[in-house]
Amino acid sequence: MHKRFTRTALVALVVTSALIAAPLADGSAAQAAGVPVGNIGKFKQNYLESFSTAAAANGPFAKTYANSWQPYPDGMGNGQYWSGSQISATGGMMDIALSGTRGAAGTFGTKNGAWSFVGGKFTVRARAVGGDTNGAAFILWPTSNNWTEGEIDYPEANYETSPMLHQHSMIAGKEDTATSVSTRVSWRDWHTYSVEWIPGKSVRYLLDDRVIATVTKDVPKTPHRYMFQTGNWGKAGHLYIDWITTYTYQP
């Protein structure tokens, strides 16, 4: 899979979800240093990583976080992705170096448990510094790699623009169209982005624990993985991930 978050028409495609400003209404979670701990209703927490152990790039990060992060092999994507050299942990954050020549990509979770989400909640707290004309995509992608099974992107956009959500069509031949909504915030500030996916029924998108969109069409119902990609172009900078957590869906 190869994301196209550099497309100029990021305002995209087919906008059918209205923005709404409302607090998260169902469930609650205890907070430990700002990181959610515990189940939220039918969403059962199965993964939490806050990158508290410092680890350098080029080997130590991959070893330290082997049960949390499954990177693309270095050189994948015709030489685009080099997670080994670009990713470290420092200051309690995952630090993705944006060099303009090497991108990074991979899947969050354990080696055995990262590939089988059928529904769930997925939350990341992130910000970017620099990296103009580059961008990132946090993605729920079919484990089968069959695009017609649905793709959910949030947040996704170039770093000099506002992060967006894109929920792609599941109609064969029309997968590159999507329901798309802007967050109207900046990558330059810390924000928390959440996806709440109920298989075959709905996907809710939250920004800082407030619902900004609910989509009820093109809702996946097969196993997906939660991952991100950033490109190998643009200006130098950093994508920082403060913490990330996932939940299974148990109706």
Q: Report the C-alpha gap between 159 and 184 in whole angstroms.
A: 13
Q: Is the pLDDT of residue 173 over 70?
A: yes
Question: Global pTM?
Answer: 0.88
Residue type for 233, please? W
- Greatest CA span in the chain, whole angstroms? 45
Q: Report the C-alpha gap between 54 and 61 in whole angstroms.
A: 8
CB-based burial, 87-97: b 16+ in 10 Å, e otherwise:
bbbeeebbbbb
Q: Where are the beta strands (DSSP E) in the chain?
A: 22-23, 30-32, 35-37, 43-49, 69-71, 87-90, 93-98, 104-108, 120-130, 135-142, 152-158, 164-168, 178-182, 191-198, 202-207, 210-215, 224-230, 237-249
pLDDT on residue 74 = 96
Q: Which of 39, 10, 13 is nearest to 26 (CA)?
A: 39
* pLDDT tens column, 58-100: 999 999 999 999 999 999 999 999 999 999 999 999 999 999 9
pLDDT on residue 19 = 32
**Contact partners, residue 159, CB within 8 Å, separation at least 6:** 128, 130, 131, 132, 134, 135, 136, 187, 234, 237, 239
pLDDT on residue 34 = 80
Q: Is the pLDDT of residue 161 over 80?
A: yes
Distances (CA, A) of 114 to 140, 141, 148: 11, 11, 20
**What's the mean pLDDT when you consider all of the chain?**
89
Helix (H, G, I), strand (E, B) or coil at 240: strand
For residue 3, what pLDDT band results from cuts at 50, 70 and 90?
A: low
* pLDDT tens column, 4-31: 444 322 333 333 333 332 322 333 344 3
CB 242 within 8 A of CB 126: yes
Residues 148-164 have a mean pLDDT of 98
Quote the tokens at residue 216.
């009820």
Of 25-29, 127-131, 158-162, give the lowest mean pLDDT range: 25-29
